[in-house]
Amino acid sequence: MKFIASRLSEGNKVFPAEIHIESTGLTVRIPGLFKGKSEYFDFKKISNISVETPMIGYSTITFHASGAKVTAHGFTTSEVKQIKQAIEDGKIDKPKPITQRPNHQSTIEPVQQKQQSPMTSSSEESNQNNKGQVKSLLVETGKSIMSEFRNNKAEKLEKEKLYELKKQEILNIPRPTELNTAIEIIDNLILRIKSEPWINNDNLRNQYTDLCFERLKQLINGLPLLDPNFDKRAYEKQLKKLNWSRFFKKNFN
């Protein structure tokens, strides 16, 4: 199992952090431009896991083991929960199956059953087998449907929470007072839109991307107020392309 930090989070735009869950432990990789950092932790040697989950943004998880400490940033709340659960499961020793030796000393003879007509016995057994198979099939089908329903509901709730946090993050972007700050925010919004473009019939994602687009349009239109000499035509061209992309992908994708 592999978890990759979001490129939208701080410090992960070019080289995102990675957490690899293996059978006996996990590997935390913090890539870098010239030299990265990689640390392996055995599940049983991990003494503590600390998590910082802000109201808005991405979580930070820190692993402590044998005096060593590694911190990784840029994971969602759902991913952090999965990582912690994998560590807890990995610390548990799975019991070995008990094999029972056959008792060769047993000499108890089976009780002789009353003889039945071959045709009657075969018909009754066939009916019982058919009923048993139908019942088993219905039970398994019902379990499968309920399990799929619960999983879909949980995934939907988790998705709603994630996009609500992302939308709040965009709404809380302050109005820039300097040109460089405005350009940095504009570039970040373009990256967000390209990483999560519009998709037909995905309302949660489309609402978030629409919000990014509207905020982007406001910032581009406000650039002359920060610097009357700034040429914003290149950004306006990108805005036009994104607008056409939004129209086609939301209606014909």
What are the structural domain ranges in the chain?
2-91, 167-252
Query: 20-62, pLDDT tens digit by residue?
Result: 999 889 999 988 766 678 889 999 889 888 888 887 778 899 9
Instruction: Write out the two tokens for 150.
Output: 């619960």
Question: What interhelical angle do 118-171 and 77-91 show, nearest 10?
Answer: 130
Mean model confidence pLDDT for the chain: 82
Return the percentage of the chain with pLDDT > 70, whole number: 86
Measured distance CA(209)–CA(189) in Å, rounded: 9
pLDDT over 90 (residue 125):
no
Q: What is the CATH number of domain 2-91?
A: 2.30.29.30
pTM (predicted TM-score) = 0.42
Listed in sequence order, the residues at least 6 apart from 198 whose beta carbon sits closer than 8 Å to its beta carbon are 205, 206, 209, 210, 245, 246, 249, 250, 253
C-alpha dihedral, 236 to 240 to 246 to 248, nearest 10° = -170
- Residue 106: its pLDDT value, please? 47
The C-alpha angle with vertex 66 and arms to 64 and 69, in degrees rounded to 5, equals 35
CB of 44 closer than 8 Å to CB of 13: no
DSSP, res 219: H
Query: 87-98, pLDDT tens digit by residue?
Result: 988 888 655 554
Measured distance CA(162)–CA(75) in Å, rounded: 11
Return the percentage of the chain with pLDDT > 90, whole number: 31
Query: 205-230, pLDDT tens digit by residue?
Result: 899 999 999 999 999 999 999 999 99
When pLDDT is averaged across residues 176-205 and rounded to a whole number, the result is: 90
Query: 63-75, pLDDT tens digit by residue?
Result: 988 888 889 988 9
Coil vs helix vs strand at 245: helix
